[in-house]
Amino acid sequence: MPILQRLSKLPRNLYSFKNIIQKYPKRNESFLSTSRQSSRLKTVLKASLIGISVGFPVGVVITISYSWYVNKEASKTYHLQGKVQKIEILKEKPQVPVSRKVVSPVDTTELKLTLFQYQTCPFCCKVRAFLDYYGISYDIVEVDPVLRKEISWSSYKKVPILLTQVESGYLPLNDSSMIISLLASHLKDRSQNINDLIECYPNIAMHDENQKLKYEIMNKYFLMYKDTLLSVKNTDAIIEERKWRKWADDELVHALSPNVYRTLDEAYNTFNWFSKVGNWEQYFPTWERLIMINVGATAMWIISKRLKKRHNLKDDVRQSLYDEINKWLCAIKKRGSTFMGGEKPNLSDLAVYGILKSIEGCSAFKDCLDNTKLSTWYDAMMTEIETRSGSKYLTAK
């Protein structure tokens, strides 16, 4: 009887055991699942290793090939490293018609100057601001910014070019900052003639970080004082002036193009203003003027996008321009004076004014007046330049 009772309970026990077993995966099922996961992992790892094994050598080959190409190209010009590019004096003046003359009744310098320029180029505006402030007369040749045939005589294809008459002919001066430094040095001490001063600003060949050969003008922010001893106060002022002149070239000017060519409409409006203020209708035939406006506006609109990225401007490029202007105005406010130079403009005032003058007719400039306190300083500078007030500071010859 006890045996029968135990046998009768056996099905129930088997049923309970079955339930227990069903709660857990079978050993072979667990193994198969783990096996599949392991297989997938192996596939991913294998693909990754293949990618690395193929990609790494390809990347190395590309890098080495590019480096080899760059070095090979650079090796063609290594012999020029450190060489000084000599400026050739022209025996005769280029036969290019003068667009207009700027005649100053207070000019006592006896300089004979011809400025090859774009009317609204910020670097050309810097040079004009300097010449006008000191009341120096000069001729202007307006250059076609697309064809540039007016400077076909020069191996240097940028503007401004200031052609200066010297004893042995005509000396072309390049780079706006060097032009200003050289002329300022001459005006402070007329015994230093142009021919001698140009030797203080050698144009030296060097390779940049990309191994491309370029020429860099040495000392272009330095004035030459000959044997003059300067006081500590004057030395500090000169260093500060030099710092802000360099800032104008290295930072402020790079905020302009992305702003005045911000949209295609702004680019066209800007070039139409260039045409108006530069008297293009007077100096160039209609077909040439239309090419300058249409090709120039479209090209600069495209280029401005790259410039925005290259110079790390904000998404709203206006804010970057406001920031630079405010940086300048704050520095003047700290000095507690009207100008960076104190009660009269110095070379950094003239540089910043010239650069901003180049966009005066653009919507970007109007926005600057509306959103910063630029107008007080700018209007004061305009008065100083229009009255040629710098002429009274010139030393006698």
C-alpha span between 15 and 354 (Å, rounded): 98
Question: What's the pLDDT score for residue 395?
Answer: 62
CA distances from 395 to 215, 295, 392 (A): 33, 46, 8
CA distances from 355 to 160, 201, 282, 370 (A): 13, 23, 25, 18
Q: Which residue has the higher pLDDT, 333 or 392?
A: 333
Give the count of beta carbons closer than 10 Å to the beta carbon of residue 292.
20
- With tokens 């207009």, the residue in question is 100
Report residue 121 as tokens. 């180029």
C-alpha span between 146 and 133 (Å, rounded): 30
- With tokens 């300022």, the residue in question is 184
* Average pLDDT across the chain, whole number: 85
- Listed in sequence order, the residues at least 6 apart from 110 whose beta carbon sits closer than 8 Å to its beta carbon are 397
Domains of the chain in sequence order: 100-217 (3.40.30.10), 232-395 (1.20.1050.10)
Report residue 38 as tokens. 């392991």
Work out the average pLDDT over 382-390.
97
Reported as a pLDDT band with limits 50, 70 and 90, residue 394 is: confident
Report residue 6 as tokens. 């135990």
Reported as a pLDDT band with limits 50, 70 and 90, residue 229 is: low
Work out the average pLDDT over 213-220.
90
Q: What percent of the chain has pLDDT over 70?
A: 78
C-alpha span between 312 and 319 (Å, rounded): 12
pLDDT tens readout for residues 244-301: 999 999 999 999 999 999 999 999 999 999 999 989 998 899 999 999 999 999 999 9
The answer to whether the pTM exceeds 0.85 is no
Q: What do you get for the CA distance between the two ends of the chain, in Å?
A: 143
Work out the average pLDDT over 98-112.
96
Give the count of beta carbons closer than 10 Å to the beta carbon of residue 85.
15
Question: What's the pLDDT score for residue 119?
Answer: 92
Partnered with residue 161 across adjacent β-strands are 116, 174
Question: What's the pLDDT score for residue 297?
Answer: 93
Which of 4-18, 30-44, 250-264 shows the lowest per-residue confidence on average (mean pLDDT)? 4-18
CB-side exposure of 165: number of CA atoms within 13 Å?
11
Reported as a pLDDT band with limits 50, 70 and 90, residue 4 is: very low
Question: What's the pLDDT score for residue 40?
Answer: 61
Which of 34-48, 188-202, 267-281 shows the lowest per-residue confidence on average (mean pLDDT)? 34-48
Catalytic residues: 118, 121, 123-124
Report residue 127 as tokens. 């040079």
Residue 8 has pLDDT above 90, yes or no: no
Question: What's the pLDDT score for residue 75?
Answer: 61
Which of 28-37, 220-229, 251-260, 350-359 shows the lowest per-residue confidence on average (mean pLDDT)? 28-37
Reported as a pLDDT band with limits 50, 70 and 90, residue 18 is: very low
C-alpha span between 119 and 142 (Å, rounded): 7
Work out the average pLDDT over 308-326.
97
Residue 142 has pLDDT above 70, yes or no: yes
Question: What's the pLDDT score for residue 55?
Answer: 54
- Listed in sequence order, the residues at least 6 apart from 68 whose beta carbon sits closer than 8 Å to its beta carbon are none
Reported as a pLDDT band with limits 50, 70 and 90, residue 27 is: very low
Question: What's the pLDDT score for residue 54?
Answer: 56
C-alpha span between 211 and 213 (Å, rounded): 6
